[in-house]
Amino acid sequence: MDVNKINGHSYYIKGGTNTGVYVFKDKSALVIDAGHTVGRGRRICSSLEENGMRARYVYTTHEHFDHYEAFQGIKQTAPHVEFIAHEMARPYIENLYIGKAYLVSSAPPKFQGKRADEATRYFSVDIPVNEKLTIKDRDFEIHHVPGHCMGQAVIITDDRVCYLGDSVFDRTIMAKYDMPFLYSIDYQRQSLEKIKNLDFDHGLIAHSKNVYSKSEIDKIIDENVEVLDRYEADIIEILKTPSSREEILQQLLVINEIECNFETYHYNYSTTGAFLASLAERNIIDYTYDQGKIYYYGI
Ligand SMILES: [Zn+2]
Ligand SMILES: [Zn+2]
């Protein structure tokens, strides 16, 4: 795997989840979003070694497993490596079952996820961060941007490179999944606005083929907002007829021709709930219980 330079000491390694690398003067490295699988962690260590670098810290932009499972592979190769995450992501990382369980509001059934052992694996966050991270006299800005999940926090290096994790969805992801996986629409809208106001030159989205300039990131953010607006308008239209959350989701999946498996259905179910919460907050919808069903409707 190539270690590609973005600017100054800031690099990235391509992957299903892109991995950021910041190299200090002594050639030790801060790895950002190590990615999925223990094997990838080992491969990251080999790639760094080929370039005279070595992993010393690993930061995850948020609590989703595909962003830090590889930490285990890095730890096997570099035992002194320390794991860094935002304080709001920490509870989910240290108790993986929380994220699994909130999707289905119970113990996860066997249909959920490829690997049943994920939920019982233990990770400990060595360095919880909030707004700033300083390592070897280098300052990194940390910005909490919840919405996709509660613990999302982007990191900006002194080379003006922002590692965005899943805070912004790339065009290819919006086309592939169409419905973005979101926990809170209101937080997501605030976070997208916040990212537009951050000061950086280069942005790396975790699931993307390209590094983007800040002005391109701003354009992609506008497209992310358009997707939110479109889904909200569709839900308001659907709720002219009182409908259950499952019925709303069914219509959205059919209208947008989205195919699901058990897990992706529940990501979309979560996003539907996030839209309902946002509409309720603004008194646009209300609900009624009738004959064993909760019906939502427009006011
Ligand atoms: Zn994610
Ligand atoms: Zn992701």
| Sequential pLDDT tens for the chain (299 residues) | 999 999 999 999 999 999 999 999 999 999 999 999 999 999 999 999 999 999 999 999 999 999 999 999 999 999 999 999 999 999 999 988 888 888 888 888 888 866 556 666 778 999 999 999 999 999 999 999 999 999 999 999 999 999 999 999 999 888 776 788 999 999 999 999 999 999 999 999 999 999 999 999 999 999 999 999 999 999 999 999 999 999 999 999 999 999 999 999 999 999 999 999 999 999 999 999 999 999 999 99
What was the pLDDT predicted at 103?
Answer: 87
Nearest-ligand number for the alpha carbon of 181: 1
What was the pLDDT predicted at 244?
Answer: 98
Q: From 159, 126, 168, 127, select the one nearest 140 (Cα to Cα).
A: 159
**Which pTM does this prediction carry?**
0.96
Q: From 203, 132, 139, 126, select the one nearest 167 (Cα to Cα).
A: 203
Nearest-angstrom CA–CA distance, 75 and 80: 7
Structure tokens given for 235: 């839900």
Q: Are 152 and 188 in contact (CB under 8 A)?
A: no
Task: Say how many Å lie between the CA of residue 77 and the centre of ligand 2.
Answer: 24
CA 145 to chain centre: 10
Nearest-ligand number for the alpha carbon of 62: 1
Task: Say how many Å lie between the CA of residue 242 and the centre of ligand 2.
Answer: 34
What was the pLDDT predicted at 132?
Answer: 92
CATH of domain 230-298: 1.10.10.10
Helices (H), the chain: 38-50, 71-77, 90-94, 97-104, 171-177, 185-196, 214-238, 245-255, 262-281
**What's the CATH architecture for 4-227?**
4-Layer Sandwich (3.60)
Task: Say how many Å lie between the CA of residue 286 and the centre of ligand 2.
Answer: 33
Q: Which residues contact 198 (CB under 8 A, 6 or more apart)?
A: 141, 143, 154, 156, 162
Element (H or E) spanning 27, and its range? none
Q: Which residues contact 52 (CB under 8 A, 6 or more apart)?
A: 27
Structure tokens given for 143: 């910005």
Domain spans of the chain, in order of start: 4-227, 230-298
Nearest-ligand number for the alpha carbon of 89: 1
What was the pLDDT predicted at 116?
Answer: 54
- Other beta carbons within 10 Å of 298: 15
Task: Say how many Å lie between the CA of residue 145 and the centre of ligand 1.
Answer: 12
Nearest-ligand number for the alpha carbon of 205: 2
Q: What's the N-to-C CA distance of the chain in angstroms?
A: 54
Collect residues with CB below 5 Å from ion ligand 2. 66, 166
Nearest-angstrom CA–CA distance, 172 and 170: 5
Task: Say how many Å lie between the CA of residue 18 and the centre of ligand 2.
Answer: 9
Q: Are strands 132-135 and 138-144 parallel, antiparallel or unpaired?
A: antiparallel
Q: Which residues contact 118 (CB under 8 A, 6 or more apart)?
A: 65, 96, 100
What was the pLDDT predicted at 289?
Answer: 98
What was the pLDDT predicted at 117?
Answer: 62
